[in-house]
Amino acid sequence: MVAAMTKKVLVTEKLADEGLAILRDKGLEVDVKLDMAPEELIAEIAPYDALIVRSATKVTRDVIEAAANLRIIGRAGVGIDNVDVEAATERGIIVCNAPTSNIVSAAEQTLCLMLACARKTPQAVASMKEGRWERSKFTGTELYEKTLAIFGLGRVGGLVAERARAFGMNLIGYDPYCSPERAEQLGVELYDNVDDIVPLADFITVHLPKTKETIGMFGPAQYAAMKDGVILVNTARGGIYNIESLADFVAAGKIGGAAIDVYETEPCTESPLHEFDNVILTPHLGASTKEAQTRAGTQIAEYVAAGLEGSIVPTAVNMALVPPEIMDAVGPYVPACQLMGSMLAQIDGDIPQYLKLTAAGSLAGADPSILVAGTMGGILSYKNVAVTPVNAEAVAKRHGIKVETQSRPDAQGYASAVSIVADGTEISCTLADTAQVPRIVSLFGYQIDIAPASQSLIFEYVDAPGKIGTIGTILGSAGINITTMQVGMKEKEKNALVYMNVEGAVDDSTMDRLREGLGELKNLWYVKL
């Protein structure tokens, strides 16, 4: 028998000695190569089975394509902005992180900066070291009974809330993914939109991921609406505050102070904020504690070792870890569940509080977790929330979604099918032919059989002669082509459901004409997939 080759791990940034020891104790060969240029990493990566990075190393598609043996990428920290997760998933490479390693440190840094800014501590220190005694110049403000607005009530935001409450602060917050129950537990009054909460705050702190929606989330309009003298803190991601306009409002005296620990481009050695004494700038120190670095190193070492052993990686951010037997049974239905979840999100408009998934026919008895993850991923796709089989339960709990699953041997004439009910809205699908194309076979209890296209119109109305003709006339006059169509009826009801795939953009005026022209129209949706 040929002995198995020792697996190799490349570490490109400083990792806690305790983490390196874990890897070596498990018989892995560990190479630590720091400060590698991108072209060096591409040239060196091929023989390695695992790669461990922090935030500085950019794991691009080029790196991943050069990684012939790579099975897992570990990020010793929270964010994975520096890893091309899509490229890794395409190659079957697990991407994991250590999401809880630095949350205490980040929360403490937030309070540290808030206090330093409120009490003008750095300015006072600088003055003292220059030989001056200027007590009256550095009169600050208390946190007690001030209103703190927390944007993002995830792990770090939640810890900040707990600690700020101990200072006697009034807590308000914005987080569209936070359930009312969690907010109540944290002692935070939730608001539905940014504009309502901004004028109320004496202090504002952000704990949000880097997305298209959050970058530049705070700009001139938001700054203008804030209280005079408000203090802003950011230990999350650079760019959430528009720095250029923030500098303008600091210069004008509207914003009383700011404390920034993260930047769009790092290292950051100059910015419009550097000139202001009442702005505290720190070099991304949120996770820079001995305890956080040790936790990040040991956690990611354990996860990477587990991945190389073929075990479950609890913080995997993609689906590469799903066991082959589960993927073979239900894997082809994952895109179908994502599609149905996306449709439900567009039909209902809100995140459901109750989600029930039924696996029928040959799927009965299979582990449904990957189907639930796919469905929730579709429902939350427009919220930029990544859902995998290993985080689906936590994501559901965080969003206040109660999930139930069941199996049924009868797939109502099909070999297999998946049915989803979200807050009473029902949709079912099966897979057709060898290409396994998803086909919707039931919607709101209407029996249909159609493969959804990239854009569709769904009508529910009181059935009467001429309705289909009216629809065709209106769409034709708008230059919209009907490609396929299905009509569903319910026994003992006069209502009809029309599912129509179309080509050509359906604008608001066309939707209005359809509503006006169809008379007894119960519902009309425009769905884009």
Find the catalytic residue in 155, 237, 398, 399: 237
**Residues 6+ away with beta carbon under 8 Å from 341:** 374, 375, 376, 377, 378, 379, 380, 381, 420
* Calpha distance 378→366 (Å, rounded): 21
Per the annotation, the verdict on 284 as an active-site residue is yes
**Residues 6+ away with beta carbon under 8 Å from 266:** 238, 283, 284
Instruction: Provide the token pair at 3.
Output: 């002995």
* Calpha distance 96→103 (Å, rounded): 16
Find the catalytic residue in 165, 284, 408, 513: 284
> How distant is the alpha carbon of residue 358 from its chain centre?
26
Instruction: Provide the token pair at 264.
Output: 């769009």
User: Residue 265, SS3?
Assistant: coil
* Calpha distance 290→306 (Å, rounded): 24
Closest CA to 81 of 42, 50, 53, 55: 55
Q: How many CB atoms are located within 10 Å of the residue 470 CB?
A: 15
Element (H, E) at 358: strand 354-361
Helix axes 508-517, 467-477, angle to 10 degrees: 150
Q: State the maximum Cα–Cα separation within the chain, in Å, rounded to a whole number.
A: 91
Q: Any bridge partners for residue 32, and if so which?
A: 11
Q: How far apart are the first and last CA of the chain?
A: 52
Read out DSSP for 304-344? HHHHHHT---TTBSSSTTS-HHHHHHHGGGHHHHHHHHHHH
* Calpha distance 319→387 (Å, rounded): 9
Instruction: Measure Cα distances from 483 to 121, 155, 193, 499 in Å.
Output: 67, 47, 39, 11
User: Residue 60, SS3?
Assistant: coil
Closest CA to 375 of 361, 360, 389, 390: 389
Closest CA to 237 of 264, 258, 257, 217: 264
Find the catalytic residue in 266, 275, 325, 493: 266
Q: Any bridge partners for residue 407, and if so which?
A: 359
* Calpha distance 302→305 (Å, rounded): 5
Q: Report the catalytic residues.
A: 237, 266, 284
